[in-house]
Amino acid sequence: MTTEENLSPEEIAALEISLPSALELCKLGLATMIDIRQSFEIEMKGAIPNTEHIPMFEMKLMLGDTLTEDEQDILDAGDIKDMDAKSFFSTINKLHRSGDQILLCICNSGRRSLGSAALLRSLGYPKALSVAGGFVAWKKLQGL
């Protein structure tokens, strides 16, 4: 799997979208935001309204990827969301809606979502993007 550390500046630029642009695409019904943070992160820091929750580390494990030590530590810090390959692809396909919907991955700061967007593209979802700044940017935009 591609991780954010393995991406070149050009690849990052091709994968990233600004938060205001992402929110506008969602408002227009052209995109769906996918919160890839772990469940405990959402519980601790807060949820973003109107997002689908698909935790990245469970997704990586389910697809047979090995987690880094840091990723495993984060995964071990909370409860694992029960997700198998069938439910993952069913959810992604439903969100993708026959190729027209943009999949906007968002994490806490915008780093992990780069890897998730790259992963989704490698799985055949070319309209996957990472929301720059992540939850931190969203919170700042909301004045929280």
Higher pLDDT, 8 or 144: 8
pTM over 0.75? The answer is yes
Fold classification of 4-141 is: Oxidized Rhodanese; domain 1 (3.40.250)
Return d(Cα 137, Cα 58) in angstroms, integer: 24
CA distances from 6 to 2, 3, 114 (A): 6, 5, 10
| pLDDT at position 128 | 95
